[in-house]
Each structure stands twice: as C-alpha cells, then as structure tokens.
Amino acid sequence: MEDIFLKIKTEDPFWDQKYISTGYKNVEAEIRKRLSVCDQITIESTGIALQFKEMVSRLKKDYSVKLVKIKADSGLCLRRINSRDQSQHIAVSDDKINEINKRAQSIIFDYDLVIDNNTATDDEIIKCAKTCQIENQVQS
C-alpha cells in the first residue's frame, strides 16, 4: 500500500484527510484491478484510518476478505522499520512511529488470524498462515 501513497504524498501525510481518502481510494482500485487477474492478494496496513475500515467494508461486499493481525513489541517494530530501505517508505520520526503503533494496537477488528511476531520465525509464520487457510477452506 505504501508505494501507492508515496505517489501522492503531501506535506503532512498523517493528518491530511484528503490525502488519506485519495490514497485509500487508489489502494482499493488497485486491489480490484489485481483481483480481476488473480485469485488472492495480500496487503499490509496499520488499520488506524477510518478510510481503511470503509475500504474493507466495501471490499467484503465483493470478495472474501481475511484480516490478520501481526502482533509485535513496539521496540521491535521500531527497529525493523528503521532497518528498512527508507527510500520506499514515508519518512517519519521515531516518535510518530511509536504513536502510530500505539494507535494500531488499540484497533480491534474481527481477526481471522493473530500472529505473534515477537519470536516467530518466517517459517513459523508461513506455517501458521497456511494452517489458517486450510481451516478456512474446510469451513466453507
């Protein structure tokens, strides 16, 4: 999602509601475009924007949407974010990252899966996600 938001970035991307709304409309359009040629896609979001909830609600009318929460300690999140290639991310201060993470932790959705990413290895996370996918197929 972030690459879509980067294309339209404004001076104050965290509080500019027009920017956030336009960004989520663009994300939704891209999701719909990609789902017209493939069966599944995965996106990542903190879920803190009202526009995210609205987008998910609209997508659920046309698609099977699964919400996965990735839990990780805020210090670990900060270290991971700071170790990424910053040219592909919206630049934010550590304080802003901590604020975003705090808000994200308070958001509650009806999650289909919760992954504790504090200690899990990539292989464990993939196995957990595959198990959830199999369980969902059996339930259908």
Which of 1, 78, 9 shows the shortest CA–CA distance to 46?
1
pLDDT tens string 21-35 = 999 999 999 999 999
Domain residue ranges in the chain: 1-64, 66-140
N-term to C-term CA, the chain:
29
Structural tokens at position 41: 């896609």
pLDDT tens string 77-100 = 778 777 877 666 677 777 887 888
> What is this structure's pTM?
0.75
